Amino acid sequence: MQMQKHLLGRTARIRHGLRFAGAGLLLAALHCLAPSDASAQTRYTCRDDNGNNYTSSRACPQGMKTTSVSAGPTASEYRAERSPSRSVSSSPAPDHQQYMSERCRTLNDTMRSAYSRGIKADVQEGMRREYNRDCREEESEASSRYERERREARLQQRDEDRQAQQASQADEARRGQQCAESRRILNIKKARTDLTEGERSDLKRFEDAYLARCAR
């Protein structure tokens, strides 16, 4: 009886080992049949009856538990997109872009934000070729126009500042002349000794106005 139990237990362990080995072979076969790392995207984490975890690009086989499913770029895509020579970092839009066509502006924006948006390196390269072919000359003309208008705006601002300064100087000169004339009149009236009560009141108001306008 003990021998029979021993044989039965040994048989159960052998069956379990075969089932474990079969699951491992199945996962290995799935890895061989899986797409290359250039195109694989989804990753499955599988757990067998013994608690062992396996990762596969295919769905977990029957009899194994799926513990997680993740999606994202493969290792080769990640390395290519991280490569400084093949990625374009996001940066503010250049000022002259306002003079470019909608198509070239959109393409330029996409190129500048390609890295942060996770666009593949080969797609970025294609966008650069398209931009150089269709938009580079347009960008050069837009940049020249922007610089020309900036120069013209600076010249116009300089002229306006000069005119404002000249007007201010003219106002100051005119005010000086008016104050000098008011001071002359004030001195003449104050020198009189025959002013009536009304004239003295007028003189006081005139003097107050003079002081408010001219005395600094």
Global pTM exceeds 0.85: no
In the chain, the number of structural domains is 3
**Above 60 in pLDDT, residue 157?**
yes
CA 118 centroid distance within chain: 15
| Within a domain: 60 | yes
| Within a domain: 18 | no
Over pLDDT 70: what percentage of the chain? 66
| Within a domain: 63 | yes
Q: How far is CA 140 from CA 66, 88, 96, 146, in A?
A: 56, 20, 9, 10
pLDDT value of residue 215: 75
Indicate if 68 and 85 belong to the same structural domain.
no
pLDDT value of residue 7: 43
Q: What is the pLDDT of residues 114-126, one digit of tens each?
A: 888 888 888 889 8
Q: What is the pLDDT of residues 32-51, one digit of tens each?
A: 444 444 444 567 777 777 77
> Which range of residues forms the domain containing residue 118?
79-134
**Above 60 in pLDDT, residue 24?**
no
For residue 40, with 0-12 CB atoms within 10 Å meaning exposed, 13-18 middle and 19 or more buried, which class applies?
A: middle
| Within a domain: 6 | no
